[in-house]
Chains A and B, each alone.
Chain A
Amino acid sequence: MQSINAQHRSGISGYVKNADGPIADATVIIRGTERGTVTNKKGYFELSRVGQSKVTIVVSYSGYLTQTQEVLPGASKLLEFTLAKDERQLQDVTVTAVNKAREVKHSGFSVNVVETKQFANTTADINQVLNLTTGIRIREQGGLGSNFNFSINGLSGKSVKYFIDGVPVEVLGSAMSLNNIPVNLSERIEAYKGVVPVHLGSDAMGGAINIITSQKQTNYIDASYSYGSFNTHRASFTGQYTHQKTGIQVKGTAFYNYSGNNYTMKDVEILEGGVRHGNEITDLNGAVFVRTDAKRFHDRYQSAMGQIEIGLAEKKWADALFLGVGYSQGMQDLQTGFEQTIVYGNVTRKSSALSGSLRYKKDNLFVHGLSLNIFASQSRDSYLTADTLYRQYYWDGTWTVKSSSEMNSIKSLSRMSRPKTFARANLSYAINEQHSVNFNYTIDRVKNENYNELVTSEDPQPGLLNKQIAGLAYQQELLDKRWVNTFFGKYYGLNLTANKWINNEYTAISQSQPNYGYGIATRYKILPEWGVKASYEKAFRLQEVDEVFGDGLNVQPNPDLKPEHSNNFNVGMYYGKTLRERHRFYIEASGFYRNAADFIYPVPDQRSKALKNENKSSVRITGMEAELRYDYMNLLSFNVNLTYQNAVNTTKFGGTTSSTPEATYLNKIPNQPWLFGNAGLSIGKNDLLGKDTRLQFNWYTQYVHWFYLTWEAYGNANGKSDIPNQLVHNATLTYSLQNGKYNISAECRNLSDNPAFDNFRLQKPGRAFSMKFRYFLR
């Protein structure tokens, strides 16, 4: 409006800094208008055509007190703001993390970024934290450590890949999974949906989870222990020490989980009658099924991990050079099969893994703007499933002799061993302020051995997988960084070899195929706090070695398998607004589209009971998700989100050769949540019960709308099975002393003890209590 006037002021510019130096990405706005900008790396900002009247410039930055300056017409145009830390905020706010989180969130990619400090005093694991965010649904079979299926915007299973600081989690062994990594070990979690940046070099067709651990350079210790219902113990430790003189740095990470998981199963079958001898029912004559509540009796879970890294940081020749060694192990009792009428009482799984790693990082290598990041590791992962009794168990722990093993096969001690060599190199070069390129290369070599120890002592037909993925991305930041584009291409090289029996002879067979993917991510900031974005990727999930060659036990080979592939689109926007410097609103909404084909599934053979992997089905998913967040200063925070996804079967012809499309073509995929949401409220106050204390209360509610177990349109409505509405509330109360050095929390999960289910109505734990102690020293 003002700018129409010919005699306008040329503009306002200035610097924003704190006690240590410039602040990048601070928000600068003209009060009472929608106009504003953000500071660059030097803390510099410019606002052109400000007009002639008096204006107030408001500068804000997370973790700092907001500052204002009035600028009179004709006054100095170069302003200087020195922001002071907001001492009211939680003390462990790490400014760089906040900064980075926002940078990721405001990129062109569709990504959930969770800063985990808000969960640091809860007993949550990574899964539970992500389950509260948009578009993500985790379906666990039971309690702590149970199998789970992670779904991002409707794509799940092996199409979702997991990383810790950009390195695949499986490098650390199969005992490591998102449902046992305590939240304290991470600083931030990024969940990329459908379109995955090249630096996570992987065939993550559905999306990728990247857990970022603490990047602090200071010494610290973060240790916690919790105890709760079902005899659940969880301990975690992470710390870092730098020897000032030599610059040698030591980082340590460890966790331990144990749970009895002996929660109550409601209305399950047990046997009454029959002839008994202890827990054995020796004669089933006269025995009948009756329904009752029973505690789970064979579901203990234990996992432990330790990792130590020693190296140097911030040297001339290396920003970081670390050598690491890690060990993880897990032990798990299996309680049920895919439905809860299948009860196990003696099947166990054990795993252990040892890994060694090297990591090197250097910015401005040889020339300014060139960064190199290398990671290499060697690991050995082994896995044992024991199913050695001819028994049928019942929910009260009694059993009868059965005609086959518990898992309905021959007795087995199934061993799996996977030696793995993994290396990743990432090279990025900033050509100038606007243009940069990133090249990423990973090589992943796994030998896959499976055998039943009771039958043979080695796998006569081990499979070998050699996976190479290269990615090249070009990023441009245009219009003063308001418009950011990333273009990328990926190469997936797959080489599989195995020895197989063909015509009574061992024959080496191999298969190799290249696949090419590509994509784009773009973001445009209409206003400093209002951005729109869109992204696309043609993505692949490569077939795995045991999928192609079988596992030598139950899975038959299928050399004709093709990779799963998908076209993934996202569009989204975000908008943030601060009112009177106290109320902050943030809204984010996006739509997504996935068109995925050739999903690989192990299909059971009715006759031989063996499995064979097949490219079985295709699916098209459209959906939308939205999140609204409101913060009132440092006192209150509220957020609510909702996800709707419509997954439609696009498998036109099913098992039979037919000219008629199968009945389920274009029908909604059954047995999958399609409408779900979360709400969270957190309220906390400093110095309420003494100086340097904080009292904090968190509430989370999760809702999953009911869905059909099978195809919606088919079968008489009278006899259709469904998974009912689920509504679960969790609450945590935390008291922190000495600026967060000592923290004690009381937590209740599933407060109202509502029924919670999963696949085929497998019951999950009811109400559970826990206490957590956390010690955090900086």
Chain B
Amino acid sequence: MKLHYSVTKLLCACMVMATLNACEKNNDTNPDPDPDPTEEHQYAAVVCIGSWPSTAYYIANVPSLTEGTITIQGNGAEMTGKVYAQDVPQKNGYYYHANAGSGRFGKYHVENGTLIVDKEIPYTWLNWSSYVWVDDETMVIFGTGADDDEVNEGRYSIVKVDDMTITNGKLDLKAFPNADFTNYSIGFAEYRSGKLFIGYQFASDDWSTYPVMKIYNELDIAVVNYPDMTLSNNISDIRSTTPGGPIVYAPSSFVDENNDLYFVTDPVSGYDYESPSVIYRIKNGETELDGSYYFNLSSKTENGMGAAMWYIGNGKAIIRTRVAGETIDLDHFYTIVDVRNGNFIKKLDLPADKGERMVQAVVVEDGKAYIAVNAEDKDYIWQYDPSTEALTPGAEFIGGIDYILRLEKVK
């Protein structure tokens, strides 16, 4: 009797479950916030949904930074299958990506909701981690590579993006100090008045003691004459390490109106759990660090780390700051720093950013910063007005986007 009962119950349970499943479809009919999803807008966002292995990347339309909603339901250009990556720097609506796995460098744009391949060229010279625009038509990309001797070297390629023609060369970086260090990690890159400034760090390829990695307590900056690519100077400093993470994801430097160059370091990103995160300056016309300038970001942010930095104007920068810890998979918050005068202004009163570790999160427009925050509750683009210090929520990402990877101005 008892057995028969349980069998019946089992069968019923199956039926109920099958029925439930049949009627759950399309229960969320979000209003389409974008009447014409193919219309080209001024802004876009690269987002990710789904959990592994079914993650998918899309370039979503952002009709407005300040109002409305952003969704990829039936909307946005699918990247998976074409460019399955988030290191896709953008300029003037064109996205660029170097894929070492399939040996190509490509230029892409979105048209009618589709990601269009403008051109892909065979490319195997380097594994990229950094880039800089010399002018609107010229991108210089940086990374490492090795010949058959397997000794890693710093490399560059000058890319004329109009027709995607490329000139390759080797960077004159400092030799490895000892056998523990067999690689370079190339960080920030800036172009200023005929010179390229390229931050780099000696790195170890020995992962056997991970997460305790060998650390070289020095950061370096190669100052290179452009376009002949000869070395002008090499700057070294031992007060911090890792001058910028792979900045193909997010920037960590800028040149301001005075032509002064600022960059922020992120030692934890280079497995250095001791050194502070520091902002440095290289003054206009100089090829050395400004010896009088040293801004210890960690000391102002409870040992936070500067993961990415954008210039707002008037000597002020916004920094995506990671909370203290020995990994880069932690919460981020945003801080405002008067970099010109070396004053810490404030930590913005925003929800904790639970998002990806490397995010192009800020767009600056008319002196205001627009910040995409992957919050625990609602994901807004927040507007920060430095003149009034007002913080207002704007457009909202809806529908449960997992990661906001890049917020871009495309026109």
Contact = CB atoms under 8 A, between A and B. Distances in A.
Interface of A: 271, 274, 281, 284-285, 287-289, 337, 339, 341-343, 390, 392, 394, 400-404, 408, 410-411, 460, 485, 501, 503-504, 520, 522, 534, 536, 552, 556, 569, 571, 591, 593, 601, 603, 606-608, 610, 614, 616-617, 620, 622, 646, 648-649, 651, 654-666, 669-671, 709-711, 713-721, 760-761
A534 B14 contact: yes
A503 B80 CA distance: 40
Given A552-B208, A663-B401, A287 B17 contact: no
A716 B112 contact: yes
Contacts of A717: 74, 113
A401 B113 contact: no
B58 A403 contact: no
Contacts of B379: 660
A569 B14 contact: yes
B403 A402 contact: no
A719 B74 contact: no
Interface stretch (B138-146, B275-283, B338-346): B138-146
Contacts of B286: none
Interface in B121-141: 121-127
A188 to B, nearest CB: 29
Contacts of B104: 289, 341
Nearest to A608: B207
Contact of A603 (B52, B143, B249): B52
Contacts of A394: 103, 122
B33 to A, nearest CB: 14
Given A403-B126, A404-B100, A716-B38, A662 B81 contact: no
Interface in B184-224: 205, 207-210, 212
Contacts of A343: 102
A534 B402 contact: no
Interface of chain B, helix or strand or loop or mixed?
A: loop
Interface stretch (B147-155, B226-234, B310-318, B362-370): B147-155
A522 B379 CA distance: 50
24 contacts: A288-B122, A341-B102, A390-B148, A392-B124, A402-B145, A501-B212, A571-B11, A571-B14, A591-B18, A607-B328, A617-B51, A646-B21, A656-B374, A658-B400, A662-B402, A663-B73, A664-B400, A710-B81, A714-B76, A715-B78, A716-B75, A718-B114, A721-B81, A721-B82
Nearest to B405: A606
A401 B149 CA distance: 12
Contacts of A339: 81, 102
A211 to B, nearest CB: 29
Given A400-B122, A408-B100, 8 more contacts: A339-B81, A390-B146, A603-B52, A651-B51, A655-B402, A663-B49, A714-B56, A715-B58
Given A593-B14, A657-B376, A711-B49, A669 B54 contact: yes
Contact of B400 (A341, A606, A665): A665
A393 B14 CA distance: 52
Given A284-B122, A710-B81, A711-B49, A402 B400 contact: no
The list of the 4 closest CB pairs from A to B, nearest first, reads: A716-B113, A403-B145, A719-B114, A392-B103
Contact of B72 (A271, A392, A663): A663
A155 to B, nearest CB: 14
B10 A271 contact: no
B124 A403 contact: yes
B147 A569 contact: no
Given A661-B400, A717-B113, A721-B80, A654 B50 contact: yes
Contacts of A503: 212
Nearest to A454: B150
A649 B58 CA distance: 19
A666 B400 CA distance: 12
B402 A656 contact: yes
B81 A709 contact: yes
B236 to A, nearest CB: 25
Contact of A714 (B72, B101, B147, B148): B72
A288 B121 contact: yes
Contact of A709 (B72, B80, B101, B124): B80
Contacts of B358: 606-607
A760 B114 CA distance: 18
A127 to B, nearest CB: 22
A393 B222 CA distance: 33
Nearest to A535: B10
Given A522-B7, A710-B56, A760-B81, A401 B147 contact: yes
Contacts of B14: 534, 569, 571, 591, 593
A382 B209 CA distance: 25
Nearest to B207: A610
Nearest to B37: A716
A676 B137 CA distance: 50
A437 B212 CA distance: 54
A656 B355 contact: yes
B330 to A, nearest CB: 11
B13 interface: yes
A337 B374 CA distance: 33
B246 A607 contact: yes
B120 interface: yes
B300 interface: no
Which of A666, A669, A716, A717 lies at the interface centre, i.e. has the most chain B CB atoms within 10 A of its CB? A716
B279 to A, nearest CB: 22
A654 B147 contact: no
A715 B50 contact: no
A534 B377 CA distance: 43
Given A401-B148, A501-B209, A556-B210, A656 B403 contact: yes
A618 to B, nearest CB: 9
B1 interface: no
A658 B402 CA distance: 9
Contacts of B285: none
A617 B355 CA distance: 18
B3 interface: yes
A411 B18 contact: no
B257 interface: no
Interface in B81-128: 81-82, 86-87, 100-104, 112-115, 120-127
A607 B127 CA distance: 12
B138 to A, nearest CB: 17
A607 B242 CA distance: 14
Contacts of B73: 663, 713-714
A390 B103 contact: no
Given A284-B122, A716-B114, A717-B74, A664 B49 contact: yes
A711 B146 CA distance: 39
B375 to A, nearest CB: 8
